[in-house]
Amino acid sequence: MELLELIRKPWPWYVAGPLIGLTVPVLLLIGNKSFGISSSLRHICAACVPANIPFFQYNWRKEVWNLFFVVGVLVGGFLATRFLANPDAVQLSAATVADLKALGIQDFSGLMPADLFDVSNLFTLKGLIFFVLGGFLVGFGTRWAGGCTSGHAIMGLSNLQLPSLVATCCFMVGGFAMTHLILPYLMKLV
């Protein structure tokens, strides 16, 4: 029972960080593989879409391990939320709660604020902005940057790749700009 309690609690950064970081040398040692999630969508499209689109014409079977990795992430996420959920509320600093309440966000019961990411918002202007436009911008940015934050920040920086450093800095600047400049304006609109 003690192991189950250990798994349920959030792990400190000095344990979780090195475990995530160790995926890089492990993947490189077991077959010169690169870590990243966004590339799996390309592999799925290449496998399932029988079109003559040059971007999808490659040997996706060489990257099938990545698809198993993504399935493992999905299954692990399901199992964790279903059976290993932490019964404690998500811990937010008082300053963060005050800042979010000033923006009109009141419900902090889940992992994401329900005021923004509730299914009831799906067919509203708020839903159009946060779900559709936000999802498009994330996908476009991932494609334009040549990978997602996990791929660049974990794998690319570990390999000392300059494009990954630039992409990670841009991800951070974009996140700060969204949080401090754009989100307050959007919350007044919707």
- Is the same domain home to 123 and 81? no
Q: How is residue 128 written in tokens?
A: 């159009």
In a shared domain, residues 65 and 143: no
Q: Is residue 177 predicted with pLDDT exceeding 80?
A: yes
Question: How far does the chain reach from its first CA to its final CA, in angstroms?
Answer: 46
Question: Exposed, middle or buried: residue 147 (CB in 10 Å: 0-12, 13-18, 19+)?
Answer: buried
Q: Is residue 95 part of a domain?
A: no
Domain of 154, in residue numbers: 118-190
Tally of CB atoms within 10 A around 47 = 14
Report how far Cα 150 is from the mean position of its chain's Cα atoms: 7
In a domain, 6, yes or no: yes
How many whole angstroms separate alpha carbon 68 and alpha carbon 182? 37
> In a 10 Å sphere around its CB, with 0-12 CB exposed, 13-18 middle and 19+ buried, how is residue 117 labelled?
middle
Q: Are residues 78 and 130 in the same domain?
A: no
Query: The whole model's pTM is what?
Result: 0.73
Q: What is the pLDDT of residues 33-61, one digit of tens each?
A: 877 788 888 888 888 887 788 888 888 88
Residue of higher predicted confidence among 170 and 113: 170
Share of the chain above pLDDT 90, in %: 12
156: which DSSP letter? I
Query: What pLDDT, in 10s, does the model give residues 87-114?
Result: 777 788 899 889 888 888 888 877 788 8
* Residue 31 covered by a domain: yes
Sign, CA torsion 15/19/22/24:
negative
Predicted pLDDT at 74:
92
